[in-house]
Amino acid sequence: EAQVTQNPRYLITVTGKKLTVTCSQNMNHEYMSWYRQDPGLGLRQIYYSMNVEVTDKGDVPEGYKVSRKEKRNFPLILESPSPNQTSLYFCASSLFTGRRTEAFFGQGTRLTVV
Amino acid sequence: AQSVTQLDSQVPVFEEAPVELRCNYSSSVSVYLFWYVQYPNQGLQLLLKYLSGSTLVKGINGFEAEFNKSQTSFHLRKPSVHISDTAEYFCAVTSNTGGFKTIFGAGTRLFVKA
């Protein structure tokens, strides 16, 4: 089954404690991205990757890091989480055939930073 | 810069009534348009998309949308809603310019009442 898998689904952590949210896709998609979803703001892109070892900032990259060492995986790293990073996070992937393709989303990770 | 405006944050409607969820975008170039649906505690999934051709697009679950270039709109419609259509709906726009970025609207929460 084609899917994007994120882990964990729920996470509560303390300010400053480094964490990683994993994302994996089994569709051989080139393009992957991370979004955060906040009430009234929709989805905002954090980082994206067009292929292995190619990553770039989205609209709200501050406080986040990513890496793309393998095509299927695109982890999101919070080196020193802060309460304003409490949010619902989604990983997405799509075929990179220009801009005509839709995104496939993971189930989401609800992060709370206290 | 492109932007997406979903004109209603919440839309309550009775079961079997018709519904329209409004979406306007701003972009000076050609665009590709998408509607996604998010059921509670799930990721987003594609409802329908407009890439080119006929301006009336049919999607899953009986939804359809009409691309209106002169009014820069892409409103989503369903002639008769079900309780199971209760969800959040996101309009998204990808433009035919440099950089692969999709902009999402803030979302419209559809409540279907019995």
Q: Residue B41 corresponds to which tokens in the numbers above?
A: 């505690």
Contacts for A20 with CB less than 8 Å, ≥ 6 apart: A75, A76, A77, A78
CA nearest to B49 within chain A? A102
Chain A residues with CB under 8 Å of B100 CB are: 31, 48, 50, 96, 99
Is the pLDDT at A1 greater than 90, yes or no? Answer: no
- What is the length of chain B? 114
Q: How many Å from the N-terminal Cα to the C-terminal Cα in chain A? A: 36
The per-residue pLDDT string of chain B (114 residues; one tens digit each, 9 = 90 and over) reads: 678 999 999 999 999 999 999 999 987 677 889 999 999 888 899 999 998 888 899 999 999 999 998 999 999 999 999 999 999 999 998 876 656 678 899 999 999 999
Are B90 and A106 in contact (CB < 8 Å)? no
- Three-point CA angle B36, B40, B45, nearest 5°: 25
Mean pLDDT in chain A?
A: 93
Interface of A with B (CB under 8 A): 4, 31, 35, 40-45, 48, 50, 58, 90, 92, 96, 99-100, 102-103, 105-108
Shortest Cα–Cα distance, A58 to chain B (Å): 8
Q: Helix or strand or coil: residue A57? A: strand
Q: Answer yes or no: are the C-beta atoms of B15 and B83 closer than 8 Å.
A: yes
Beta strand segments in A1-114, E: 4-7, 10-13, 19-25, 31-38, 42-51, 54-57, 65-66, 76-78, 87-94, 104-105, 109-113
User: Residue B100 and residue A100: Cα distance in Å, rounded?
Assistant: 10
Are A42 and B105 in contact (CB < 8 Å)? yes
User: Residue B35 and residue B44: Cα distance in Å, rounded?
Assistant: 10
Are B9 and A40 in contact (CB < 8 Å)? yes
Are B9 and A106 in contact (CB < 8 Å)? no
User: Residue B21 and residue B30: Cα distance in Å, rounded?
Assistant: 22
Using CB atoms, pick whichever of B45, B94, B96 lies closest to residue A105: B45
Is the pLDDT at A97 greater than 70, yes or no? Answer: no
Q: Residue B61 corresponds to which tokens in the numbers above?
A: 């679950």
Q: Could you read off the pLDDT of A70-83 as tens digits, one per residue?
A: 999 999 999 999 99
Q: Could you read off the pLDDT of A30-82 as tens digits, one per residue?
A: 999 999 999 888 899 999 998 899 999 988 999 999 999 999 999 999 999 99
Say yes or no: B25 contacts chain A, CB-CB below 8 A: no
Q: Helix or strand or coil: residue A2? A: coil
Report the pLDDT value the prediction gives residue B28, as an integer from 0 to 100.
66
Closest CA to A43 of B87, B41, B88: B88
User: Residue A95 and residue A50: Cα distance in Å, rounded?
Assistant: 9
- How many other β-carbons are positioned within 10 Å of the β-carbon of residue A27? 13
